[in-house]
Amino acid sequence: MSKTTLAAIVLAFLGMSLVSGCAGPHIKDQIGFGIWAADNDLWDEAVFRWKKVLAQDPQSVAAHNNLAVAYEKKGLWEDARKEYEAALKLAPGNPWVKLNFKNFKDNLEPGKSDKKDKAAPDEKK
Amino acid sequence: MRKNSPALFSLLAVLAACGGGDTYRKIRVELPAYSSLHPEQFEQVVFSGFLVAKEPEGFDLNKEIAEYFGSEFERKLHCRVTVQRVALESEEVFRKPDFWRSLAPGPGRVLYVTGKAELTRETRKAILGRTKADAEDPLARQRGIVERTLFSLSLHLCLIRGDSGEVVLDRDFKESKAYTNLNQRADFAFYELAQRVKTKLFRPILSEERMQERYLLLK
């Protein structure tokens, strides 16, 4: 591979990254910040971050799903349901959202909540 | 090629960083249990009796349930607990609001505890297997048939609001335990089985938190 070809590949890649990533990093940061907050039991902060993401990108499956988990933590069942449904509407095949929603419903329905959470889809180790 | 290696390596690293990585994070989080019941709204809990499908001879299941769960309700809900036995004809009565409204003893919000209960005792036979370790141990248990006494407690529990007659909690519990003691007493078995029911019953009533798994999405 000649130097020129390699330089062209690198430049093309960097160009693509710049174009596609201009809006991306900020949203990704907010998602990550929310997760950090959730990890530290700062669920109000997490909600604030994920709501911010949705204000910029209402199609963010991650924000809808994560917000649903936060609402569950706060005992806001109807809000959690709405967010799970929104996430599933955007990504009906997403196994993690599906599993979260299933566990959420198990928690809501009396008599079923004592059953153990179903095995997760193949988890990455 | 060797000259280009660092550049190629950097390119691959950047590509890996962009395209790879996890898409989710599994978390274990304490989530409250959903409760349609607001215990703080009630001033009195009334045990109005259970339809008893089966009970061991000489064992008053209704009395034992009222005594055991009565003290638990008193302790956890901080309200007065009384026993007011009501003539229950069938399970359909649980869904008749007028019936429960007519029982209301007066002002003050009342929560009725009722349902259907069954405590059974049976002797079961089991075949004892021998493991590889048992085969090498001269004092190991012998293969054969052993008997066990199995107690099962089935409880269909309904909690009903006195003011509206509405069922606020309707749950089924079934707990069983086998005992090597063939003469195991029913009251001891009931106590053990009721303890298991208690843990599961008060979780939704008091919205107790329980550790659960959820998945947060990273992108």
Task: Identify the structural domains of chain A with CATH numbers, from first to last.
Answer: 27-108 (1.25.40.10)
For residue A59, give every residue at least 6 positions away whose Cβ sits within 8 Å of its Cβ, in sequence order, or none.
Answer: A90
Q: How far apart are the first and last CA of chain B?
A: 36
For B178-189, b/e burial (b = at least 16 CB within 10 A) is ebeeeebebeeb
Pairing of strands B110-128, B144-161: antiparallel
Q: Which of A110, A104, A72, A109 is nearest to B200 (CA)?
A: A110
Contact assignment for B218 to A62 by CB distance below 8 Å = yes
Nearest residue of A to residue B172, measured between CA atoms:
A111
| B contacts of A100 (beta carbons < 8 Å) | 214-215
Residues of B with CB under 8 A from a CB of A: 1, 4, 7-8, 11, 14-15, 18, 22-27, 29, 31-34, 169-172, 200, 203-204, 207, 210, 212-219
Residue B6 has pLDDT above 70, yes or no: no
- Measuring CA to CA, which residue among A95, A106, A60, A101 is closest to residue A81? A101
pLDDT of residue B32: 87
| DSSP letter, residue B39 | G
**Pick from A68-77, B6-15, B28-37: least confident:** B6-15
Report the chain B residue with the minimal C-alpha distance to residue A3. B4
Provide the 10 A C-beta neighbour count for residue B74: 13
Q: Are B207 and A75 in contact (CB under 8 A)?
A: yes
* Average pLDDT over chain B, rounded to an integer: 83
- Residue that wins the pLDDT comparison between B48 and B19: B48
Contact A99/B215, CB-based, under 8 Å? yes
> How do residues B122-154 score in pLDDT, each as one tens digit?
998 877 776 666 667 766 666 678 889 999 999
Task: Answer yes or no: CATH 1.20.140 is held by domain B21-118+153-172+186-208.
Answer: no
**At residue B163, what is the residue type?**
D
Contact B216 A99 (CB under 8 A): no
Q: Which of B27, B204, B207 has its CB closest to that of A110?
A: B204
Whether the per-residue pLDDT at B15 is higher than 70: the answer is no
Candidates B171, B207, B218; nearest CB to A35: B218
HSE-CB for B160 with a 13 A CA cutoff: 27
User: CA of A45 to nearest chain B CA: how many angstroms apart?
Assistant: 15
- Whether B214 sits inside 8 A of A108 (CB atoms) is no
Domain-wise residue ranges, chain B: 21-118+153-172+186-208
pLDDT digits (tens, 9 = 90+) for A64-110: 999 999 999 998 999 999 999 999 999 999 999 999 999 999 888 75
Q: Does A99 touch chain B (CB under 8 A)?
A: yes
Structure tokens at A54: 């949705």
Contact B119, B190 (CB under 8 A): yes
pLDDT at A115 over 80: no
**Most confident listed range (A28-32, A94-98, B108-112):** A94-98
Judge if ipTM > 0.85: no
Is A39's Cβ below 8 Å from some Cβ in B? yes
A125 CB within 8 Å of a chain B CB: no
Which of A10, A72, A123 shows the shortest C-beta gap to B26? A123
A108 to chain B: closest CA residue: B34
Size of the A and B interface in Cβ pairs below 8 Å? 89
A75-84, B104-113, B203-212: least confidently modelled range: B104-113
pLDDT value of position B12: 45
Q: Please give the pLDDT value at position B118.
A: 95
Closest approach of chain A CAs to the CA of B133, in angstroms?
A: 33
